Amino acid sequence: MTLLEGKNLTMVFGGLAALDSVDISINKGEVLSLIGPNGAGKTTLFNLLTGVYSPTRGSISFKQKEIKNLKPYDITKMGIARTFQNIRLFGEMSVLDNVIIGQHCRTGTGVFGAIFRGPATRKEERKVRDRAMEILNFVGLDSEAGEKAKNLPYGKQRRLEMARALATDPDLILLDEPAAGMNPQETNELIGLIDKINDMGKTVLLIEHDMKLVMGISQRIMVLDYGKKIADGPPEKVRNDEKVIKAYLGDRAGKEDRAC
């Protein structure tokens, strides 16, 4: 079943096409990796799918509903969440509060409820807190719930970003270079966490440069180069595609990768 579909997606900045007639489809329950050299248009595509930009041309449907002109908040409410290439946590707030904030699109407390804090508001606050602790336990950060987010090691900050995204209860989670800056142990832990997220029924789209991670975790890989899609298919097919080897991996890297 197709969860998200983008057709003929084109994004032009100042006369230059960051994306040029790109089609993308994401099937419910799969892990799809988006790869390509720097400047290929990967983050631009993420920004289109999450409402940061509206495409110059093309359409985007999620759960068979057009979303290309919706605001990011409304797209989040529909079930799409994301992390960012540069970590965007509330550093002075606790780990727990960062996850609680992620649930804002699923809460019903209005202005009067926040001011007067009646029984319904207090009940919802307990529910939100309990859910946040469940998510922190899921990502392995429950013991750090009271810590300031800025005091977490880098790898744990990445996991906290993912926890905050999960707090929105998404059907589709977009991860923008989640392994960037991680050491090998942190990367292995990340692979395990993405597998867990997928096993719980979440669909995952990730941008990543770590080819070991990409090849090991992806059910399908899509490749961009200079704003155009040049390959889309299973890992084995993509890793042996000459256009991909030339554009992204390089001849030497391609030979080494195929020898692994």
Q: What is the pLDDT along the chain (260 residues), one digit of tens a residue?
A: 999 999 999 999 999 999 999 999 999 999 999 999 888 999 999 999 999 999 999 999 999 999 999 999 999 999 999 998 888 899 999 999 999 998 876 665 543 444 445 676 677 788 899 999 999 999 999 999 999 999 999 999 999 999 999 999 999 999 999 999 899 999 999 999 999 999 999 999 999 989 889 999 999 999 999 999 999 999 999 989 999 888 765 544 444 343 33
Identity of the amino acid at 203: T
By CB atoms closer than 10 A (0-12, 13-18, 19+), residue 94 is middle
CA pair distance 185, 51, nearest whole angstrom: 34
pLDDT at position 257 = 43
Three-point CA angle 7, 75, 56, nearest 5°: 40
Residues whose CB is less than 8 angstroms from the CB of residue 46 and which lie 6 or more positions away in sequence, other chains included: 34, 52, 82, 174, 176, 207
d(CA 196, CA 139): 9
> Is 98:89 a contact under the CB 8 Å cutoff?
yes
**Residue 10, strand partner residues:** 57
What's the pLDDT score for residue 121?
67
Q: What is the pTM of this model?
A: 0.86
**What is the DSSP secondary-structure string of 214-256?**
HHHH-SEEEEEETTEEEEEE-HHHHHT-HHHIIIII-HHHHHH
Provide the b/e sequence for 173-197 (b: ≥16 CB within 10 Å).
bbbbbbbbebeeebbebbbebbeeb
Amino acid in the structure at residue 144: E
Q: Is 239 exposed, middle or buried (0-12, 13-18, 19+ CB in 10 A)?
A: buried
Considering only the top CATH level, what class is 1-79+170-260?
A: alpha beta
CATH number of 84-168: 3.40.50.300
Q: What is the pLDDT of residues 238-250, one digit of tens each?
A: 989 999 888 765 5
- The residues spanned by each domain of the chain are 1-79+170-260, 84-168
User: Where is 137: in which H helix or E strand?
Assistant: helix 119-139
Q: Do domains 1-79+170-260 and 84-168 have the same CATH topology?
A: yes
* DSSP strands (E only) in 14-126: 16-27, 31-35, 57-62, 65-66, 80-82
